[in-house]
Amino acid sequence: MTSLPALSALPTATYRLQLQPDFPFAAAERAVPHLAGLGVSHLHLSPVLEAVPGSTHGYDVTDHRSVRAELGGEEGLRALAATARAHGLGLVVDLVPNHMAASPRHNHALRSVLREGPDSPYARWFDVDWPARDGRLLLPVLPARLPEVRDRLRISGGALHLDGQEFPLRAGTEGLPLDELLDAQWYRLGWWRLARTELNYRRFFTISDLIGVRVEDPEVFAATHAKIVELVADGVIEGLRIDHPDGLADPQGYLEDLAAATGGGCWTVVEKILTGAESLPAAWPVAGTTGYDALRHVDGVFTDPVGADELADLYRDFVGKAGDRGGRWEETERRAAYEVVSHDLAAETAALTRIAERICAADPALRDHAPWALRTAIRELLVRVPVYRAYRTGGEEVLTPEAARGAKAAFAVPEEASAVDLVRQLALGTLGDGPEHRSFRARFAQTSSALRAKSVEDTAFYRYTPLLSANEVGGDAGRPAVSVEEFHAYARRIARDWPGTGTVLSTHDTKRSADVRAAIAVLAQCPQVWAELLTEVAGVPAPDPHVAWTAWQTAFGFGTPDPERLGPAILKSVREAGLRTSWTEPDAEYERAVTEFTAAGPGRIPLRAASEAAFALEPHIRAHALGAMLVQLTMPGVPELYQNTEREYRALVDPDNRAPFAVGPDDDRTALVRAALRLRRERPEAFGARGAYAPLTAEGPAAAHCLAFSRSDQVVTAVTRLPLRLGEAGGWQDTELVLPAGRWADVLDGVREFTGGPATELKLAELFADRPVALLARA
């Protein structure tokens, strides 16, 4: 097949498209002219390999050997690449190395394992603990206990069938009586509720429908990456987004293998969630992260810290929750971690306990640790990992001696608490390097990342909700604001260490799009306005105060009453919170009350127009949204636009934010996007790998309300922070900004010019006379 000529290795900007059967490659091809006109350099496609039929996301990969037929197959992908290249665009593809769909009907590798057991040539693909379940793999796929569905099982064509599901039969067993046949398989069909405690294969987080893949095995890596490597070699794919690297046994080793296989010239970013001041491991051969760390800093610098604290006090008074059930962030986070590790991840902690038991049994110096003590030590250490996971180096900074001392407090007998030291050493890899030792270290790290994701992102973020804009992947709900100084320090570090990293504001995984978060964040500048709004709608009875606060704040951010979109989002929030109902233990009466409340209140009442004070916030919401967008587009890194975000885009948690792309009318956001991206393409030296970042500091009474920086003395970005507080303090008054020396043209209006230099202070009232943001280019 014909190879395409290479474009620049470092994208100028990417545009994410969510592919699905309703938006295949051909539809993306038709969108290329519009997207090229925005000024992006690459299209970023959601996963393109074969997936479960009908999948709207593509992360449930079924066959790595082929491009997904429902999207148009390899021919359609190559046609899209050719059209994109004709318009000066390349392709970046989302790659899913950690897991596949656990669908025997569609996953050829898993089907072979179920038919042939440990002797299957694909047995090494998956982490299966065969001895744990008497040499059989548990498939938690039945809608009820086996006796209740037994009469619906059918045998034909060498397979077992149930309600559209299909399971291959072990050779020579098809003629057996049903009960004997079931017992003779390499798998055991089980009730879906058994997955929590009995599962004996590694999965993605707590999703038993996604089975983990052992890409650390060279043969597995080669088989699962051959097609992607071919497409990279042919120039069809120029960049890769690596989904959930923390799920892998050895992320660095995987990334080194990937770099070697693709020749090292493929722009690669990883979906790595950094916590607090955590840095991306310097040894990883990648350009950076997918950008959630940038999202946290951009959102944070536009959030009022004083008002956020006031809002948290109002929230606690309003919801009346206990500290560990949504009242205080740290306590809520810790309780959620205990619940998830003990309940949702019980099978994972059991697997770790079994490995630890085998290690102890094989070494006389390690014997006589009771299984319960090992299990307790594993649990207590896991909940004390302050980041997603430890890596090859730096593990001692994650699993600290202080963490070990805290874990020992769970033991009444000091001698039994020594199990903590054993588990810590195993997790750090200091007790040996045998197969079981390596397995424990990897599985502990993999479980740690699953625990962090499920307990923080998918539980605590839904329980502690004073300011929902802060409850985003990679965010810190207990500290939603970032100072200007912190932002500048972060941007300088990115420019120096990771200039090719990704930056985002909205993604397919954000719980609320950037525009929704901007509206909510403005409430931190006016907590009393929010309290008054809640009083005004108090006549709509809610199932409980927490739901009322969360639902009304979601509706305020969304901006327009829409029960069909708000209803599912609010229902998902109460299920994820797990306080009154959950996905696995639903309370039908409570959920009905939540649905009725949403329809009668947040889904019907236009909250942002409910009062003069609320309506007056609209200009401040716009200022926040435009400011955040301009900062993201011009700060260090490679900015990504999520589909439809070149204009105002209000979306809630998935699946709401994964609707097919559609070209819409331009607005002032579109003009800003085009101007910023045109500059990035025209002046690569200012924004590229060697582009410098320098903070610019305003002087005067309102200096704190201006965030400004220059890129290589070629481009200046200046935006308004906390405009409501600014107005309350009297506006810009005599506040000034000194531009770098030279003549500067206003890119957003194409008319104004300014002079920079030490003796030519620029009045911010003049700079922001027409809009709350400014983008200047050296003339």
407-419 confidence digits (pLDDT tens): 999 999 999 999 9
284 pLDDT above the threshold of 80: yes
CB 539 within 8 A of CB 674: no
* CA–CA distance, 601 with 541 (Å, rounded to integer): 8
Among 652, 497, 689, which Cα is nearest to 559's? 652
Question: Strand pairing of 773-778 and 742-746?
Answer: antiparallel
The mean predicted confidence, pLDDT, of the chain is 96
Question: Strand pairing of 61-67 and 49-51?
Answer: antiparallel
Q: What is the pLDDT of residue 758?
A: 85
Among 363, 393, 396, 391, which Cα is nearest to 381's? 396
Residues 635-681: tens digit of each pLDDT: 999 999 999 999 999 999 999 999 999 999 999 999 999 999 999 99
CB 598 within 8 A of CB 543: no
Q: If you search the block for the tokens 């999965």, which residue do you land on?
A: 203
Residues 6+ apart with CB under 8 A from 779: 742, 743, 744, 745, 753
Q: What is the pLDDT of residue 273?
A: 97
Q: If you search the block for the tokens 């690449």, which residue do you land on?
A: 81
How many Cβ atoms from other residues are within 10 Å of residue 1's Cβ?
Answer: 10
Residues 563-619: tens digit of each pLDDT: 999 999 999 999 999 999 999 999 999 999 999 999 999 999 999 998 999 999 999
What tokens appear for 5 in the block?
């000529």
* CA–CA distance, 213 with 204 (Å, rounded to integer): 10
CA distances to 199, 294, 650 from 503, in Å: 37, 5, 19
Q: What percent of the chain has pLDDT over 70?
A: 99
Residues 412-447: tens digit of each pLDDT: 999 999 999 999 999 999 999 999 999 999 999 999
Q: Tell how far CA 173 is from the center of its chain.
A: 44
How many Cβ atoms from other residues are within 10 Å of residue 163's Cβ?
Answer: 11
Q: What is the DSSP letter of 341?
A: I
What tokens appear for 4 in the block?
């395409």
What share of residues in the chain are helix, strand, coil (percent, to 5)?
45, 15, 40
Q: What is the pLDDT of residue 680?
A: 96
Residues 3-32: tens digit of each pLDDT: 554 445 799 999 999 999 999 999 999 999
Residues 103-146: tens digit of each pLDDT: 999 999 999 999 999 999 999 999 999 999 999 999 999 999 99
Q: What is the pLDDT of residue 761?
A: 87
Residues 75-103: tens digit of each pLDDT: 999 999 999 999 999 999 999 999 999 99
What tokens appear for 581 in the block?
């109902």
Among 290, 758, 699, 722, which Cα is nearest to 526's? 722
Q: Which ranges in 39-103 belong to alpha helices (H)?
A: 73-86
Residue range 144-155: mean pLDDT, rounded? 97
Q: Tell how far CA 538 is from the center of its chain.
A: 34
Q: What is the pLDDT of residue 2?
A: 46
Among 546, 527, 524, which Cα is nearest to 326's? 546
* Coil, helix or strand at residue 51: strand
CB 396 within 8 A of CB 326: no
pTM here is 0.96
Q: What percent of the chain has pLDDT over 90?
A: 97
What is the rounded radius of gyration, in angstroms, for the C-alpha atoms of the chain? Answer: 27
* CA–CA distance, 602 with 592 (Å, rounded to integer): 15
Question: Strand pairing of 742-746 and 706-711?
Answer: unpaired
User: Taking the chain, what is the end-to-end CA distance rounded to the nearest angstrom?
Assistant: 46
Strands (E), 495-570: 502-503
* Coil, helix or strand at residue 733: coil
470 pLDDT above the threshold of 50: yes
CB 591 within 8 A of CB 477: no
Q: What is the pLDDT of residue 332?
A: 98
What tokens appear for 125 in the block?
């693909």
Q: What is the pLDDT of residue 60?
A: 98
CA dihedral 489, 490, 492, 493 (to 10 degrees): 110
Strand ranges across the sheet with 154-156: 154-156, 159-162, 165-168
C-alpha angle with apex 444: 438 to 447, nearest 5 degrees?
Answer: 135
CB 40 within 8 A of CB 7: no
pLDDT band at 265 (very low <50, low <70, confident <90, very high): confident
Q: Compute the half-sphere exposure of residue 235: CA atoms within 13 Å on the CB side of its CA.
A: 14
